[in-house]
């Protein structure tokens, strides 16, 4: 049965829908947890930090769980996929960022970023994809990439490379599991109003000798709409992509950027 908007405009998922959100303690992850719960799904909030995972499901109506997991640990993800049992959708919003020019790159930071942003996505797809295939269960993956995965940005080469790579992984993964009834898509947010973006502004301000609030203001004015993306706007797209209403969409990359790429 296809999903449809409720009278309040909130998309509804089938009552049996179970979703797992990785990186549930972040701005986008917690928004996804709330959006899936509001759509009627039962949600498993996954995060490296126990309190962050618990906070993501606190005070939500329905039955939800919080679990600690490190996305850079392939064995732990594989074990978790077996423990959690049947899932209908996996939302991977785990990610970190740092800015540095290539000629000055801190390689330990580079390796950590790649381990979380790209290796973690591969490990997530492998663990939960294998579980779905073995259970002969259809499902949907949504990986959070970025508009930084669509064009390079100065001082953001490592982050851009991880997000470019993620889009390539999504397209390949979608082709591999399509015959099993599993869909895989990527969402590319622009500048999201979040602590992560404020941290980037603070770091750029420090390095450039500028007021971080000025840098943050430039981020907010980057899109044609001259505003930041709300985490809820990204989360609502993830719910749609995980729903039966998006049954014909796989291997796609969708932007939520307030027009940053067009003006």
Give the three-class secondary structure for 110.
Answer: helix
| Alpha-carbon distances, residue 140 vs 13, 14, 108, 114, 236 (angstroms) | 13, 14, 33, 24, 15
List the 89-92 sheet strands across, edge first: 65-68, 42-47, 18-22, 89-92, 139-144, 182-189, 253-256
Q: Which of 123, 159, 164, 240 is catalytic?
A: 159
Element (H or E) spanning 256, and its range?
Answer: strand 253-256
In the chain the first and final C-alpha atoms are separated, in Å, by 39
Is 159 part of the annotated catalytic residue set? yes
Quickly tell me which residue has 């423990």 as its tokens: 83
Residues annotated as part of the active site: 159
């Amino acid at each position: 049965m296809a999903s449809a908007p409720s009278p309040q405009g909130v998309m509804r998922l089938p009552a049996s829908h179970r979703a797992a959100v990785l990186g549930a303690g972040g701005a986008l992850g917690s928004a996804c947890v709330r959006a899936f719960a509001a759509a009627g799904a039962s949600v498993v909030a996954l995060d490296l930090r126990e309190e962050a995972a618990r906070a993501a499901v606190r005070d939500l109506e329905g039955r939800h769980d919080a679990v600690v997991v490190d996305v850079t640990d392939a064995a732990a993800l594989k074990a978790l996929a077996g423990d959690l049992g049947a899932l209908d959708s996996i939302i991977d919003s785990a990610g970190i960022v740092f800015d540095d020019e290539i000629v000055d790159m801190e390689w330990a930071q580079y390796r950590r970023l790649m381990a979380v942003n790209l290796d973690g996505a591969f490990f997530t797809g492998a663990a939960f994809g294998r579980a779905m295939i073995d259970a002969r269960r259809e499902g949907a993956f949504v990986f959070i990439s970025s508009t930084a995965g669509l064009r390079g940005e100065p001082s953001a080469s490592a982050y851009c490379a991880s997000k470019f790579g993620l889009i390539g992984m999504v397209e390949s993964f979608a082709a591999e599991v399509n015959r099993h009834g599993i869909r895989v898509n990527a969402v590319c947010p622009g500048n999201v109003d979040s602590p992560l973006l404020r941290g980037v502004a603070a770091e750029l301000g420090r390095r450039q000798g500028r007021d971080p609030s000025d840098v943050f203001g430039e981020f907010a004015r980057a899109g044609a709409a001259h505003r930041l993306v709300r985490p809820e706007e990204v989360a609502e797209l993830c719910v749609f992509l995980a729903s039966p209403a998006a049954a014909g969409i796989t291997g796609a990359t969708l932007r939520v950027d307030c027009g940053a790429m067009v003006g």
